[in-house]
Chain A
Amino acid sequence: MIRYVLRRLVLAIPTLFGIVVIVFVLVHLAPGTPVSGGGEALRRPTGRAAEELRRLYGLDRPIPERFGAWVSRAVRFDLGESFVDRRPVGERIREALPHTLLLNGVALILALVIAVPLGVVAGGHPEGALDRVSGVALFALYSTPTFWMALLLQSLFSVQLGWLPLYGVASDPAPSGLAGLVDRLAHVALPATCLAYGTLAFVARLVRSGIAETREADYVLAARARGASRRRALWTHAFPNAILPLLTLFGLLLPALLSGSVIVERIFAWPGLGRLFFDSILARDYPVILGLSLLSAVATLGATLVSDIASAAADPRVRDGTAT
């Protein structure tokens, strides 16, 4: 087992390196330069000033040399400085990260809490009324564009009813103690809902099809034959087996915790990673783009590794590589 983990860890290094190389090259080959600034620039440097700026940013040096310099700093956990405000990239990411973690964490929990029971119940009676209705509803939900849903939710809950705040992460000034917590949750409710419903629809259908398959399996029938109730057969015998593909899926869902949503963060004025990433791309702020890409690559690889190790722990065939 330890050998398996070590092997996977060692293999992750070239994968990470490959991702970084691709991102680095893509970012630098994309048209436009940091010198042209964002679209909101009052005046853009031109002529000699633009050339000086290129030199200042090190853009006059060849890409391999820039890449070498970046990697040698990155391995020492130094992601460089933002071109935009000359602050360390790590600091800018640290500022936005908690907001995105909170938003995406709440969204993921919300999605799972609703999706799993819904999927199990729907899968318990395939083609039943609930299954059919929820199937259509979830499909419609999955197809609803986020920006539209966001504006709709704002319009209903913030403007018409006035129940929930329109924007931001907390009131200004923010209340303290329990009231502060309630305030934070009220602020996160709408954007989290926007992020949750797509995942919810997806996960619910996945659980549903898993359950629908396993409920016919021999061990479930055997459990029923031994006198287990219908509910017990479903939750204790079918569900744990149906959930296995979900664990793999989890490896893919977790990194999403770190990747902000541009649209939702923009509409709800949420100062998260999505907005930072988007603004950095517009401004061609290479160090920040690379820092965020690295973060997301590490998260993806890490989560995949964890879910693979979990599968290996559960299934010896995965460990010795005999699994099909």
Chain B
Amino acid sequence: MRRAWAAFTVLVLAAACRGRSEAPSARADVARSGTPLSSSTPTRDAAAESTPVAVDGGTLQRRLLGEPTSLNAVLQTSLPEAQVLQYVQRNLFDFDAALGLVPGLAASMQVSPDGREYVVTLRPEAVWEDGKPVTAADAVFTIRKIADPGIPAPVFQSLYDGLERVEALDIRRFRTVFREAYAFREMAFVMPVLPAHRFEGRDFRKAPDNRAPLSSGPYRVAAWKSGESVELARNPAYWGPRGHFDRIVLRIAPDNTTAYRMLLAGDLDEDQMDATLKARAESEPRFSDCCRLVEFYTLDWSYVALNNRSPFFEDARVRRALTMLSDRAAAARDLYRGSARVISGPWAPDSPAYDASLPPLPFDPAAAKALLAEAGWRDSDGDGTLDRDGRKFAFDLTVPAGFETGRQVSEMLAAELAHAGVTARVRTLEWAAFIERVDAGEFEAASLAWSAVDPNPDPYPYWHSSQCPPHGLNNGCYRNPEADRLMEEARRELDPSKRTALFHRLQRIFRDDAPAIFLVNSTQKFGFDRAVRGVTTSPLGLSGIWPGPVGWFMQPTPRASNAHGLVQRRPA
């Protein structure tokens, strides 16, 4: 699955969180995950439900899809960095498994009545690996680096777009002032803090800490073998509750099949799988002997972007017809093998912005053809392809290479459209070339998927008419004055329930206007060694939440039977 740029929804306890301090462990324990799957796809995490008392010790072996680029938390760009850094660098605040904010390095946060000023107080006990305290000066240094346009900090930069100033008030407190209030501003503080003293007089982008960061978390980097693995050991100076494992090895295994075999061989305790390997795992006794499946829905969702500026898609009736020609339920059943749900708007069902009571547009080819005819698309020359004013209804549907499910869904859609006299030519483009065109708005239709980095549901950057290419992310340049107004209102609305009502109204407009063909929300699938316990899933995935993987542990003794009645393998 492509990790596209995304940022979506959810229940931010915007107002509720302010100024409240909570013990992270208490919060996280309550929040055993996100969303149970529907009865047709039962959750495979039964073993984790009956979690025994946590045990300390042992080595955890996790999979990295690729080499981390930099272990400077501000410079991180992709999942491997996030997976390593989660153990090494604490954030000011974190999302818990229910997507609420929980304190990390920070103890509390106060917001001014106008919603522009945030005063964050750090925990007095928080220290770096070298024993020096984590100070407000460190936080101010980090925020200034993030906001510095000369520093490539893509994961955090947009969170500080409206930053006016940031200043330390004393050793533990700092104030951040933004130019305007924003409903999801708190999420800006789900950010790491770097030790300012380690970067003094050094080029920020090349400091030695970028390879061997000074830890503020439960583990520190013990070794980094380029292209092979990153090894973590306990940080003896850590100020919070100890992690359970003595040692964590993150192995770089780019190939899915090899990683699956490594899991079976005991060289990995955790492995993210695709739908094909999941099906294989379900049928192989070798898998069930050692391992179990953990599958859950995230905030990720897929769609076919339509260029609303193209003569084919400027009419909402045509866009709606295309959605209705697409048998999304069949795609969920056959291509995603049941691990997907059809969506009716630009959020995943687990986002609080999403209105589950609003059904998606139906699969109804007859009604779709009527809509197309109403919009003037008819087969006037009898060649089987619709036309209007001498123009054939034929367009390119671009798919990024390597996004296999996206390609299959696109082929299926093209076949369905062909029955209605619409020609979609599926074209594959290498990722960098693909995304360059999409960003520039130079495409007709494109298969895309969003991965949620945070639960921010704000649709403004992606669907507001002011955000059309080349400078915004509204790739298809969707324009609707009513939707614009609701989006503007929602990002200013500080009351969560009123905001949700606005999102629900927006969702109805998105569904009926069909700025894109909204497809499905699908699951993430992991294979786990049976001995690994305490696994918490969340709509953000396994990582990206606190304590997340830091709360995992190894059940050291094999038991005669477990939840599945199978013999457990002793961990290596």
Residues of chain A having any CB pair with chain B under 8 Å: 30-33, 36-49, 52-53, 56, 81, 84-87, 92, 95-96, 99, 151, 154, 158-159, 166-169, 172, 266-272, 275-276, 279, 282-284
| Interchain CB contact under 8 A, A30 and B3 | no
Residues of A contacting B158 in the complex (Cβ-Cβ under 8 angstroms): 43, 46, 49
| Interchain CB contact under 8 A, B205 and A86 | yes
Residues of B contacting A36 in the complex (Cβ-Cβ under 8 angstroms): 431-432, 435-436, 439
Report the Cα distance A268→B255, complex, angstroms: 8
Residues of A contacting B437 in the complex (Cβ-Cβ under 8 angstroms): 31
The answer, yes or no, to whether B181 is at the interface (CB within 8 Å) is no
Ranked nearest first, the 6 interchain pairs of A and B with the lowest CB-CB distance are A271-B227, A32-B432, A31-B433, A39-B431, A52-B149, A40-B78
| Interchain CB contact under 8 A, A37 and B154 | yes
Residues of B contacting A283 in the complex (Cβ-Cβ under 8 angstroms): 432
| Interchain CB contact under 8 A, B430 and A32 | yes
B17, chain A: closest CB distance, angstroms: 23
| Interchain CB contact under 8 A, B210 and A282 | no
Residues of A contacting B205 in the complex (Cβ-Cβ under 8 angstroms): 86
Report the Cα distance A104→B312, complex, angstroms: 53
| Interchain CB contact under 8 A, A52 and B150 | yes
Residues of A contacting B2 in the complex (Cβ-Cβ under 8 angstroms): 39-40
Interface centre among A41, A81, A271, A279 (most CB of B within 10 A): A41
A203, chain B: closest CB distance, angstroms: 28
A283, chain B: closest CB distance, angstroms: 8
| Interchain CB contact under 8 A, B432 and A96 | no
Known A267-B258, A269-B251, A271-B225; 10 more pairs at CB < 8 Å: A32-B435, A37-B154, A42-B78, A47-B472, A95-B226, A154-B258, A168-B228, A267-B257, A279-B66, A284-B432
Residues of A contacting B471 in the complex (Cβ-Cβ under 8 angstroms): 46-47
Residues of A contacting B435 in the complex (Cβ-Cβ under 8 angstroms): 32, 36, 39, 44
Report the Cα distance A266→B431, complex, angstroms: 19
Q: Can you name the residue of chain A whose Cβ is closest to the Cβ of B431?
A: A39
Q: Can you name the residue of chain A whose Cβ is closest to the Cβ of B156?
A: A43
| Interchain CB contact under 8 A, A172 and B229 | yes
The answer, yes or no, to whether B453 is at the interface (CB within 8 Å) is yes
| Interchain CB contact under 8 A, A56 and B150 | yes
| Interchain CB contact under 8 A, A167 and B262 | yes
Contact of B210 among A40, A46, A85, A99 (CB under 8 A): A85
Report the Cα distance A154→B225, complex, angstroms: 23
Report the Cα distance A147→B175, complex, angstroms: 56
B550, chain A: closest CB distance, angstroms: 19
The answer, yes or no, to whether B490 is at the interface (CB within 8 Å) is no
B54, chain A: closest CB distance, angstroms: 26
B78, chain A: closest CB distance, angstroms: 4
The answer, yes or no, to whether B368 is at the interface (CB within 8 Å) is no
Contact of A33 among B149, B150, B432 (CB under 8 A): B432
Contact of B3 among A39, A85, A92, A268 (CB under 8 A): A39
Contact of B254 among A52, A168, A275 (CB under 8 A): A275
Residues of A contacting B229 in the complex (Cβ-Cβ under 8 angstroms): 172
Residues of A contacting B7 in the complex (Cβ-Cβ under 8 angstroms): 43
| Interchain CB contact under 8 A, B226 and A96 | yes
Known A36-B439, A43-B155, A85-B210: A151·B433 in contact at CB below 8 Å: no
Interface string of B228-241 (1 = CB under 8 A from A): 11000000000000
| Interchain CB contact under 8 A, B154 and A159 | no
| Interchain CB contact under 8 A, B431 and A42 | no
| Interchain CB contact under 8 A, A45 and B154 | yes
Q: Can you name the residue of chain B whose Cβ is closest to the Cβ of A268?
A: B258
Report the Cα distance A36→B2, complex, angstroms: 13
List residues 139-178 of chain B with CB under 8 A from any CB of chain A.
Answer: 149-150, 152, 154-155, 157-158
| Interchain CB contact under 8 A, A84 and B69 | yes
Known A48-B149, A85-B210, A169-B228: A42·B432 in contact at CB below 8 Å: no
Q: Can you name the residue of chain B whose Cβ is closest to the Cβ of A271?
A: B227
| Interchain CB contact under 8 A, B432 and A45 | no
A152, chain B: closest CB distance, angstroms: 11
A161, chain B: closest CB distance, angstroms: 12
B161, chain A: closest CB distance, angstroms: 9
Report the Cα distance A275→B267, complex, angstroms: 21
B539, chain A: closest CB distance, angstroms: 16
| Interchain CB contact under 8 A, B453 and A167 | no
Report the Cα distance A45→B400, complex, angstroms: 19
Residues of A contacting B226 in the complex (Cβ-Cβ under 8 angstroms): 92, 95-96, 271
Q: Can you name the residue of chain A whose Cβ is closest to the Cβ of B7?
A: A43
The answer, yes or no, to whether B299 is at the interface (CB within 8 Å) is no
Residues of A contacting B253 in the complex (Cβ-Cβ under 8 angstroms): 167, 269
The answer, yes or no, to whether B264 is at the interface (CB within 8 Å) is yes
Report the Cα distance A32→B436, complex, angstroms: 5
Report the Cα distance A43→B76, complex, angstroms: 10
| Interchain CB contact under 8 A, A158 and B265 | yes
| Interchain CB contact under 8 A, A266 and B152 | no
